[in-house]
Chain A
Amino acid sequence: MELFELVTAQTIPEAVKAQAKSSTAQNGAEVRFIAGGTNLIDYMKLNVERPNRLVDINGLPLDQIEKTADGGLKIGALARNADVAQDATVKEQYAVLSQALLAGASPQLRNMATTGGNLLQKTRCVYYRDTATGCNKREPGSGCSAIGGYNRMLAILGTSEHCIATNPSDQNVALMALDAVVHIEGVKGQRAVPVAEFYVVPGATPQRETVLEPGDLVTHITLPKMPAGAKSVYLKLRDRASYEFALASAAIVIKQDASGKIEFIRVAMGGVGTKPWRSLEAEKALLGRAASSATFRTAAEAALHGAKPQSQNGFKVELAKRCLTHAMGQASQSA
């Protein structure tokens, strides 16, 4: 760990101003916000994150979960994962988010981890965490050790020849399926970015993961009102029963009409994409069709159509398909 200075932000503009001194908001930032610290501190101990200044944002009034005027929900960036998961509205109307959060980490971690921190958690690629190895995300131009190395956990969608790391979050997959909007306050004021546009694929610049610029503070996210009668499910597949990141996961929001025809559908995947992955292809294959396991399987095939397996993770193609098919089935049957 490097020596760093810790400052406490009293107001949002103060926090924004402090981070704006950093040359980037992406990998390699010299100034970092610290929320729960469950991701950042780990990487600082490993010398992967080497900020010389930490801005503690825990004192900012950003931990509320409130209904919005248009029937949606506003979740503060500092709302803890445990609180969001147990929130009555979330459980009732956005079950997929509650399930996703509860499928992640451990109770102790969820008590600390925040909505904003989860949104911005780093990949778990083993080479990213190991400074003795080359990694384009950590050190641009140093090569990608995962290609041809240990890549069983890594992505099959959205990869590039420069990086194949997954976004490991469960929360973010649910947010994709819920059309969440990320609200940001930056040096130029406030803006709102749909979560689908918040993340960027690695391409030739894997060090860049989101649209955030120096100074940008995530203040909250909003979830739009769900179509009446929509059901949602999160399904996570992994080696052990708990406390492990997803090999493949699925977040499904579905609404069927009285005849069983699919009227509304959102399909997102975790553990397989370089960003939380929404599959418009799968949605297209489902919308307007009658729900059936054959339709679900066809949609799942469509979702994995462009998958590019690496040396060790080819099984994820079939695993993700089964995950999607099963989750769609569960969602369509959930009362």
Chain B
Amino acid sequence: MDQVTESKVIGVATPRIDGPLKVSGSAMYASDHHFPGLLYAWPVCATISNGTIAHLDTAGAEKMPGVVAVYHRENIGKLYRVPPSTGFTLILDEKRPPLEDDTIRYYGQYVAVAVAQTVEQARAAAESVKVTYNKEKPDTGEKLLGTPLTTDKPDEKSKRGDTAAALQAAKVKVDAVYRIPVETHNPIELHASVAVFDGKKYTLYETSQAVVNHRDVMAQMLGVPTEQVQVITRFLGSGFGGKLWPWPHGLLAAACARNLGRPVKLVVSRQMMFESVGHRPAIDQRIQLAADADGKLTAVQQDYVNHTSMLDDYNEGCGEITPFLYSTPNLLVTGGLVRRNVGNPTAMRGPGAVPGLFALESAMDELAIALKMDPVQLRLKNEPALDESLNIPFSSRHMKECLTVGSEKFGWAKRTPEIGSMKRDGLTLGWGMAACSWLAARIETEATVELLQDGSARVACGTQDIGGGTYTVMAQVVSHETGIPVNRVDVVLGDSSLPPGPISGGSWVTASMTPAVLAASQNAGKALVLAAIKSDGSPFKGKKPEDLELVDGTVRLKGQQQGAVPMAEILRIAKVNSVSGTGKSDSTFGAAKPKVSFHSYGAQFAEVTWQPEIARLRVSRVVTVIDAGRILNPRPARNQIEGAVVMGVGMALFEETMYDPRSGAPINNNLADYVVAVNADTPEIDVTFLDYPDYQLNALGARGVGEIGLAGIASAITNAVYHATGVRVRDLPVRIEDLLVPANRTTHLA
């Protein structure tokens, strides 16, 4: 398709078309759905993390007021397993159907579910189910590197040159271990399922970032054809990856609805959110860097290990970015898994890249210090000419410009490298920076566009808007192609019965949806032109399709403004309510032999303030420059980066799920004890998009911005912390106790 260089709507800051629905409270989220005869389900959660159920007594609970049923292994009915997934189908992280056996492998695992007339009755009944356990000592051990892996040896993920030799010969070296604790997804909207079963078909209102996959998984696990399952997620109160794949509660809700023949609502509590709907795993990473005296990298090695659950293998993929970010002749990335008594980990915003870059970019900072070199210069010095991991060109990479523009916006030139040397208003300042990157891709997508007689358009695609602005961007793309104003485009998504669309993950919805929606719009336009040349009474009757063009919502003779007829008028003349077109997008993701390397890039600069006299550290300023192709809608795009920066403050300074080693319980399982950044922690945030279209990805040159904003921020902050305090924190989050160094510590050269 032709490259689009100019547009009246693409790249124009456009308010969200779904904004009014959200601020008025009329947007229907999954748990807002209500039906006559609706029942409520509340799961019973294991209070051990390793062992077996000795006895489960539901008799008391069953007799409680309002209780309709209590299900457990023996009476839940048939639930099936999914076959191994290939590509983007039938994906779920926890593959064991709920209640399948009596073995408990993580704290909070569902052992039963109570169903009652009200949610209070269901909860009270669930709490009255008496469960005794044969308890065994759980393993939630935090140390991962050096503990037994699931495989004989770590997997080789990427390799070139002779890394061992280069490390040995190195003039300057960094060798350190970086740790990330378990982080829990805490979107404000809890996971929820409202399951309706009419005796044949399931309609499931879900909190899903992937309705089509969700339908396929549920159909398989419920043992019915896919046509008998419909999954609907009109709005999502975010998910951060935690809602990508189905979790056991959804299946419980569907099974209860099936067994009782009545609609069932199950809303996962905040506490359960810490147990059974995924988390970013704990990760240990050893990074070794070698450079020659002038800062040219000679070797990079990354060995990571992440924890996974007892039954399933979740690989965090921390080496995602390392192989192509910098130029180095020698490189080795390995990865391994260790089993712990934890719920299954899952993707969290920027999986792999975010933790991987925390380690790599921290190590780069340490290397810059060892070299007595400016950290920005070190990165500029190691800019690669091509993707050295695959020996292919980059589709569009402006990392150097991210670094230089960021430096300028931040005022980096004024930085003095000595620890604690910068002051403002009695505060010690720390300045740190990091580079970041995230993949760009298209995945298979279909869309339909309909042009209607009332002058509006309707676009439909089985994707989701998780709050990122997909509704609006889809409307913009249709508007761009048809000339119909954005506010007259009706966007329909979040329904598995629509043409299959992309999962809301990987930051690829925009890039994937664009070609499909453009093509669908064009095909609808072609149908309209046919109507114009064939219909009686049309001024264009008898013309050839190539004589006509569609401009600004009108049909006209090529190049002639005069005589243009509005599309809607043509439809009236043709006596049809609408014309439609479909469009498809193919996939670049996981291509066996890619010809170009598609990625987004960025640079993040952070300022912290430090008051040693009260051990108070705050992030005061963050500058982010992003090269993510053409930005289709700067408003939600900026919003994504700003949100990611705030999330990054939490990742760097606060977030950590703690497991009690004795019970294996995630013990800080609420929003008071699991500390996330609040408004008062939000720094001044400056966001710049370079806005270079990546036309090899799609005609609009759009990539995506959902995840990259989180990819450098944690290391930018810990690098700043080092600059302010002289304390190198390699084990997130940075805690007050890490920084309680003597207040009168003598300043030394960085």
Contacts and interface: CB of A to CB of B under 8 A. Distances in A.
A and B pair up: yes
Interface of A: 1, 47, 124, 126-127, 130, 132-133, 145, 148-150, 235, 237, 239-245, 247, 314-315, 318-319, 322-323, 325-326
Interface string B666-680: 011000110101111
A148 B654 CA distance: 22
Closest 7 pairs between A and B when the two form their complex, measured CB to CB: A315-B737, A241-B680, A242-B680, A132-B47, A241-B681, A326-B614, A150-B667
Interface stretch (B309-317, B430-438, B559-567, B657-665): B657-665
A241 B618 CA distance: 8
B736 interface: yes
A244 B675 contact: yes
Interface in B607-661: 613-616, 618, 653-654, 658, 660-661
B124 interface: yes
Contacts of B736: 237, 239, 247, 315, 319
B615 A322 contact: yes
B536 interface: no
Contacts of A319: 615, 736-737, 740
A247 B47 CA distance: 29
Nearest to A319: B615
B458 to A, nearest CB: 41
B743 A322 contact: yes
A124 B667 CA distance: 12
Nearest to B734: A239
B106 to A, nearest CB: 14
Given A237-B615, A322-B615, 4 more contacts: A133-B660, A150-B658, A241-B680, A315-B740
Interface of B: 47, 120, 123-124, 127, 613-616, 618, 653-654, 658, 660-663, 665, 667-668, 672-673, 675, 677-681, 735-737, 740, 743
B678 A322 contact: no
A145 B673 CA distance: 16
A150 B660 contact: yes
Secondary structure type dominating chain B contacts? loop
Contacts of B737: 314-315, 319
B667 A130 contact: yes
22 contacts: A1-B123, A126-B667, A126-B673, A130-B667, A132-B665, A149-B660, A150-B660, A237-B736, A239-B654, A240-B653, A240-B680, A241-B618, A241-B678, A241-B681, A242-B680, A244-B672, A247-B736, A318-B615, A318-B740, A319-B736, A323-B614, A326-B614
A135 B120 CA distance: 26
B663 A133 contact: yes
Contacts of A322: 613-615, 743
A1 B124 contact: yes
B616 A237 contact: yes
B414 to A, nearest CB: 26
A243 B671 CA distance: 10
A326 B613 contact: yes
A310 to B, nearest CB: 13
Q: Report which residue of A1, A240, A318, A322 has the largest number of chain B beta carbons within 10 angstroms of its beta carbon.
A: A240
Nearest to A327: B614
Contacts of A239: 653-654, 675, 735-736
A259 B150 CA distance: 72
A325 B613 CA distance: 9
A125 to B, nearest CB: 10
A126 B668 contact: yes
Q: Report which residue of B672, B677, B679 has the largest number of chain A beta carbons within 10 angstroms of its beta carbon.
A: B672
Contacts of A326: 613-614
Nearest to A106: B678
Given A150-B668, A240-B680, A315-B736, A235 B614 contact: yes
Contacts of B735: 239
